């Protein structure tokens, strides 16, 4: 008699490296490969548990003495645009949206390079060449879209978001925009537009990645109403951003074995005879 055994994903931990968000801290990630027939199911299940996708990898922060990074998403039904967000929509009313398959173009890469050189010249992606950019866009085993925003009249590409379509929402994997138009609040505009897309599609959430208290790079996420954070194994409404601290403690993070044991995998994964 032959028995079918589930192919459980294997989890690994990266070596510590300098944190890009908080000075004098080291980051470490728990990750697993995203591949095979069960990729879509695994991505949906782990995204709901605070994981993020990067190409064919799913990861979540697992730093040894810090738990500052919190996965964030917007509850579409609870979102109400603020006055400043409504102004951002009006400022960008001349932009048109175009959703395409995940395929990289020279125009996208040119905009991406300008964005990095202006906003993140010392970041981990600063040396990314055109081939690595194409891999970031195109290497996806799940349902993904590239959403471009261009000037209605000139057709000039102004902003781009690589977006995954999940069972329960949209996940903004990576976004970039024209750095010369910093007063236009293009990052805010893209999030607001994704909220509209999710609402039209009947999807309850827009996943924004990680929010880090006290990090200027991440402060904008806390300005969206309806924001939820993944904390203590569940999604909780964000109340007061200032109530979240970033104090180090050696017991901030559970042991890796315990973290993996607590991950809820999809009910049905591919099997091998």
| Percent of the chain surpassing pLDDT 90 | 71
118 lies in a domain? no
| Percent of the chain surpassing pLDDT 70 | 93
206 lies in a domain? no
Say how many domains are in the chain. Answer: 1
Q: What is the mean pLDDT of residues 24-31?
A: 92
Residue with the larger pLDDT of the pair 251 and 230: 230
48 lies in a domain? yes
67 lies in a domain? yes
- pLDDT band for position 182 (cuts 50, 70, 90): confident
pLDDT of residue 123 exceeding 70: no
Q: Which two tokens stand for residue 106?
A: 């020279």
pLDDT of residue 4 exceeding 50: no
- pTM of the complete model: 0.91
pLDDT of residue 1 exceeding 80: no
Q: Give the pLDDT confidence of 68-101 residue by residue, as tens digits.
A: 899 999 999 999 999 999 999 999 999 999 999 9
Q: To which residue do tokens 């049905």 refer? A: 268
SS (H, E, C) the chain: CCCCEECCCCEEECCCEECCCCCCCEECEEEEECCCCCHHHHHHHHHCCCCEEECCEEEEECCCCCCCCEEEEEEHHHCCCCHHHHHHHHHCCCEEEEEECCCCCHHHHHHHHHHHHHHCCCCCCCCCCHHHHHHHHHCCCCCEEEEEEEECCCCCEEEEEEEEEECCEEEEEEEEECHHHHHHCHHHHHHHHHHHHHHHHCCCEEEEEEECCCCHHHHHHHHCCCEEEEECCEEEECCCHHHCCCCCCCCCCCCHHHHHHCCCCCCCCCEEC
134 lies in a domain? no
Contact 65, 249 (CB under 8 A): yes
203 lies in a domain? no
Residue 36: its pLDDT value, please?
87
Residue 169: its pLDDT value, please?
98
Q: What is the mean pLDDT of residues 252-269?
A: 85
42: containing domain:
5-71+246-272
50 lies in a domain? yes
Q: Which of 16-20, 56-60, 177-181, 183-187 has the lowest mean pLDDT?
A: 16-20
Mean pLDDT, all residues of the chain:
90
- pLDDT band for position 3 (cuts 50, 70, 90): very low
15 lies in a domain? yes
Q: Give the pLDDT confidence of 207-227 residue by residue, as tens digits.
A: 999 999 888 878 889 999 999
pLDDT of residue 5 exceeding 60: no
pLDDT of residue 65 exceeding 90: no
Residue with the larger pLDDT of the pair 1 and 135: 135
Q: How far is 171 from 194, CA to CA, in rounded Å?
A: 9
């Amino acid at each position: 008699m032959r028995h079918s055994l589930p192919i459980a994903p294997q989890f690994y931990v990266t070596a510590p490296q300098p944190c890009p968000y908080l000075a004098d801290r080291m980051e470490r990630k728990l990750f697993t490969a995203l591949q095979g027939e069960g990729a879509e199911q695994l991505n949906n299940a782990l995204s709901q548990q605070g994981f993020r996708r990067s190409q064919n990898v799913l990861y979540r922060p697992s730093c040894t003495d810090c738990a500052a990074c919190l996965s964030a998403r917007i509850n579409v039904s609870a979102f109400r645009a603020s006055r400043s967000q409504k102004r951002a929509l009006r400022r960008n009313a001349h932009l048109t949206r175009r959703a395409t398959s995940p395929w990289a173009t020279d125009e996208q890469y040119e905009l991406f390079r300008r964005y990095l050189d202006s906003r993140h010249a010392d970041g981990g992606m600063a040396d990314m060449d055109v081939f690595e950019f194409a891999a970031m866009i195109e290497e996806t085993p799940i349902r993904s879209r590239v959403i471009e925003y261009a000037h209605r009249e000139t057709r000039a590409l102004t902003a781009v978001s690589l977006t995954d379509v999940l069972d329960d929402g949209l996940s903004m994997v990576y976004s970039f925009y024209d750095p010369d138009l910093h007063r236009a609040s293009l990052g805010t505009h893209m999030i607001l537009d994704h909220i509209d897309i999710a609402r039209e599609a009947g999807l309850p959430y827009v996943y924004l990645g990680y929010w880090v208290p006290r990090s200027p790079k991440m402060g904008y996420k806390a300005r969206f109403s309806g924001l939820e954070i993944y904390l203590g194994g569940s999604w909780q409404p964000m109340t007061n951003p200032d109530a979240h601290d970033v104090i180090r403690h050696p017991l901030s993070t559970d042991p890796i074995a315990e973290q993996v044991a607590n991950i809820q995998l999809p009910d049905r994964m591919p099997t091998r005879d």
